[in-house]
Amino acid sequence: AAAELRLQVKTSPHLAGSWMWVNDRKAHWRPREYFPSGTEVTVKADLYGADLGGGLFGEQDKQVSFRIGPSRVAVADDTTKQVSVYENGRLVRTMPTSMGRGGTQAVGGKTIAFWTQPGVYTVMEKENPVLMDSSTYGLPVDSASGYKISVPHAVRISPDGIYLHEREATVWAQGNTNVSAGCLNLSAENAEWYYEFANPGDVVEVRNTGGAPLEQWQNGDWSVPWDEWVNGSALRP
């Protein structure tokens, strides 16, 4: 609470928002709804010399300002198996996709799920290509479902390895059948287009899929219900 009192977020236009402590060292701030395009944001941490309790004192002050870019929202709907991409509310492209095939597999006492979890993600980073290795999440490369491949035009949306990426081998399934291990497969043309279009922070909504809902630690800040988010503040009433 002592630290949060010294964290300030100012937006123009004004947006009501809240901090949520995701662990005992890190807090995230967001408004109830997506930031409107063009919003000016200034974040200040006035911590230098501040007594934060328990023998801890703030080391330095920090400040950063930035402007929210165009509204870009990609909606991946398992009902249609299409990714509809909107910019400032206008549909700019529709891309057939093949998402997680579902089901689970037990490996070494660990249960691995093959769903594209429903929820609201954001673009984290882009890599062209990226090496995808199933052993990094516990699935041996030499197992029936294992893999280690170089994938072009990959847009990461979760820390545990969900991407929108090029996969020409599944073009036959895109738009009709889910066959991936959890990623959203796209044709080469569509994957390259989305790779060039997307920026970190852009929203990706995954709807009507199976599996457990996206959690906050999986880049799911926008998936946390607002009441729960506000309750994560150290200064809640």
Helices (H), the chain: 188-197, 226-231
Cα–Cα separations (whole angstroms), residue 138 to 99, 104, 108, 182, 202: 20, 13, 8, 14, 29
- pLDDT level of residue 199 (50, 70, 90 thresholds): very high
pLDDT at 104: 87
* Strands 163-166, 154-156: pairing kind: antiparallel
One fold for 4-69 and 72-221: no
- The pTM of the full predicted model, rounded to 2 decimals, is 0.92
Identify whether 165 is a catalytic site residue. yes
* Candidate CATH numbers 3.90.1170.30, 2.40.50.220, 3.30.70.1350, 2.60.40.3710; the one for domain 4-69: 2.60.40.3710
Burial of 212 (0-12, 13-18, 19+ CB in 10 A): exposed
Identify whether 183 is a catalytic site residue. yes
pLDDT at 145: 75
Parse the chain into domains and list their residue ranges: 4-69, 72-221
Tens of pLDDT, residues 119-145: 999 999 999 999 988 877 777 787 777
Tens of pLDDT, residues 37-94: 999 999 999 999 999 999 999 999 999 999 999 999 999 999 999 999 999 999 999 9
CATH numeric code, 72-221 = 2.40.440.10
Residue 99: both structure tokens together: 């998402």
Question: pLDDT exceeding 70 applies to what percent of the chain?
Answer: 100
Give yes or no for residue 191 having a pLDDT over 90.
yes
Contact 92, 75 (CB under 8 A): no
Residue from 14, 28, 153, 183 carrying the catalytic annotation: 183
